[in-house]
Amino acid sequence: MTDQPAWHGEPDLPAMRRALVLAAQGPLGDPNPRVGAVVVAADGTVAGEGFHAGAGSAHAEVVALARAGDAARGGTAVVTLEPCNHTGLTGPCTRALVDAGVSRVVFGQADPNPVARGGAAELEAAGIQVVPGVLADEAEALNQAWTFAFRHGRPRVTWKFAATLDGRSAAVDGTSRWITGPEARADVHDLRAECDAILVGTGTVLTDDPQLTVRHPDGSLRDRQPLRVVAGTSTIPAGARILDDAAPTVLFPEHDPALVLKALHEQEIHHVWLEGGPTLAAAFLRAGLVDEVVAYLAPILLGAGRNAVGDLGIDTIGAALRLEPTEVRTVGADVRVRASVVSLTTSHEEPR
């Protein structure tokens, strides 16, 4: 047992808040969810803490129980996610909790994974009191893309684009480097790093020859690189930078966004960062397969050139694809807008 003080106030909330802080230390872009756990001994003191450090490492409950030792017996395990009930790269956490002799298990989010869920019922069958749903919304927010993927059977898709104020992603001569400033470009790398895969079409590869890696401001590669994905049937030159050894790459000779996402879901990809050109972006939008938009708007005007998105099949303002802004902020000289895709409006208002 540690010499940490006992929790005060409502018995489970402080421990769950601490578990949420621990969980946030886990990696984003991992096949597994971020999970935190706190073991509270029978006398109310904190006996052990832990978080999941990524696929293949010990789960949060196992780490916390190991640190708690015998003090876990008769105590309470507070976990941000329902303890798993299956054997993967590691054993089931339900068995670890039963063997440790805890008397109560409190968890936040119910597990949406059909392979791993069922932990609550297993613990109750072993005579352990289970308290579900404590700070469930906060717990779910830790693993937004992971949860989305299991609920919808496909990865969550974020479409990122950079454009001028008049909606151009490239000039008439095709030049597009750089529309936004260095601060915005660095911000893109931070957001890329949170995703599992970066997706472009063959047209983008042939036109821009991007490397699609995640880099530090000094240009050096970050330790973890998302999967690079190229969709389309055009042949990619053998010397294309996207085929180098800086990060893994997969090629899908496919134009159907749903089939691409299905294949990625089967590879445990939960969050796709869509950086393709206007044609690929339009295909995903027309298919209803974009969930979030991250737009970087530069305070410049071109007046002509390539549009940020291709034809969406919309011919009247009443059918416009409406977005719900979730954040608007300046990044250097540019403006970043994050928005959720809501739905096609049924309004028939006249243009203003």
Residue 274 CB contacts under 8 Å (≥ 6 apart), including other chains: 157, 158, 159, 160, 199, 200, 280, 281, 284, 290
Q: Which two tokens stand for residue 211?
A: 């490397």
Active site residue 275: no
For the chain, percent helix, then strand, then coil, each to nearest 5?
A: 30, 25, 45
CA 89 to chain centre: 21
Q: Which amino acid is at 305?
A: G
Q: Which two tokens stand for residue 306?
A: 């390539």
Assess contact for 179 and 164: CB atoms under 8 A.
Answer: yes
Alpha helix (H) residue ranges in the chain: 13-23, 60-68, 93-100, 119-125, 136-141, 144-152, 182-192, 202-208, 257-266, 278-286
Q: Which amino acid is at 148?
A: F
From the candidates 61, 82, 122, 140, give the one annotated as an active-site residue. Answer: 61
Sign of CA dihedral 28, 32, 33, 34: negative
Q: Which amino acid is at 328?
A: V
Residues designated as active site: 61
